[in-house]
Structure 1
Amino acid sequence: MKNLHDRGMLKWRGFMMPEHMALISEIDFDGHRQAKPILDEYQIAEMESRIHFAQESKIPVSMTVHIGGFADILVGRIVKTDPITKEVRLKVGEMVERIRWADLVGVEIVDD
């Protein structure tokens, strides 16, 4: 008896159109999205006080930013807070990231 080479799922991919595969991967990607948490007044005030303290003390912070259904954590030093455009500028490495106040979910002071 000959050893048969089974290609597994490879043989079934020929029946799926590229548009179908793209739709499946898009549905999988959208399935991992999370709703932005709703912050109360106390949490917002606490984040603002941490941001101002870190800016005055020039110490690094860890900011959790919620954009497009996904949370991202950025660690750096606060360069500027702009109340007019409602942005925080965070220096991450050599780059300066502009973060909108509305996208902030959490701020933590990082120990050196």
Structure 2
Amino acid sequence: MTIRDRGTKKWVSLMLPEHMTMLRQLWGEFDFEAKPFLDEFQKEEFDQRISYAIEYNLPVKVTTWTNGGTYEFIGRTHYVDPLTKELRVKSEEDGRLAYIRFSDIIAIEVID
């Protein structure tokens, strides 16, 4: 005699759509990363790397922190705007221009 079990179907029927949205929100909070703290020495090092990349026209990999996650962008530095505190990087892949705020940058690496 075999036992016929419906598997997870029996539990899905007990879950209301509101429960599912709350569970998805809870699971999203587990993936949240705290923004790393940058001291003045690291910010000065970022400035030197950007200056070096602009001088020799080298691509950079900029890592940013946005909404609890980190994102990487690879391209050549187009312009540094001190008034709006933005870094403009032109993408290597499709040539689009990205406006990256200084406060979102957590790492910069010059690609030789």
Fold shared, TM-score > 0.5 on shorter chain? yes
Task: Describe the superposition over 1:42-96 as per-residue Cα deviations: whole angstroms up to 9, x where unpaired.
Answer: 1000001101111121111111100111111111111111000000011122211
Relative to 1, partners in 2 of residues 1:88 and 1:9: Cα closer, same or farther, differing over 3 Å?
same
Distance in structure 1 (CA, Å) of the matches to 2:75 and 2:7: 47
| 1:7 Cα offset (Å) | 3.0
Amino acid at match of 1:71: T
Q: Verify: 1:84 aligned to 2:83, yes or no.
A: yes
| TM-score calculated relative to the size of structure 2 | 0.91
Name 2:105's counterpart in structure 1: 104
Name 1:61's counterpart in structure 2: 60
Distance in structure 2 (CA, Å) of the matches to 1:86 and 1:33: 26
Distance in structure 2 (CA, Å) of the matches to 1:52 and 1:7: 63
SS of the equivalent of 1:8 reads: coil
Distance in structure 1 (CA, Å) of the matches to 2:29 and 2:90: 30
Structure 2 unaligned spans of 5+: none
* Shift >2 Å, 4+ stretches: 3-7
| 1:10 Cα offset (Å) | 2.1
| 1:9 Cα offset (Å) | 1.4
Name 1:37's counterpart in structure 2: 36
SS of the equivalent of 2:25 reads: helix
SS of the equivalent of 2:77 reads: strand
Structure 1 unaligned spans of 5+: none
Distance in structure 2 (CA, Å) of the matches to 1:27 and 1:18: 14
Q: Percentage identity across aligned positions?
A: 37
Name 1:19's counterpart in structure 2: 18
| TM-score calculated relative to the size of structure 1 | 0.91
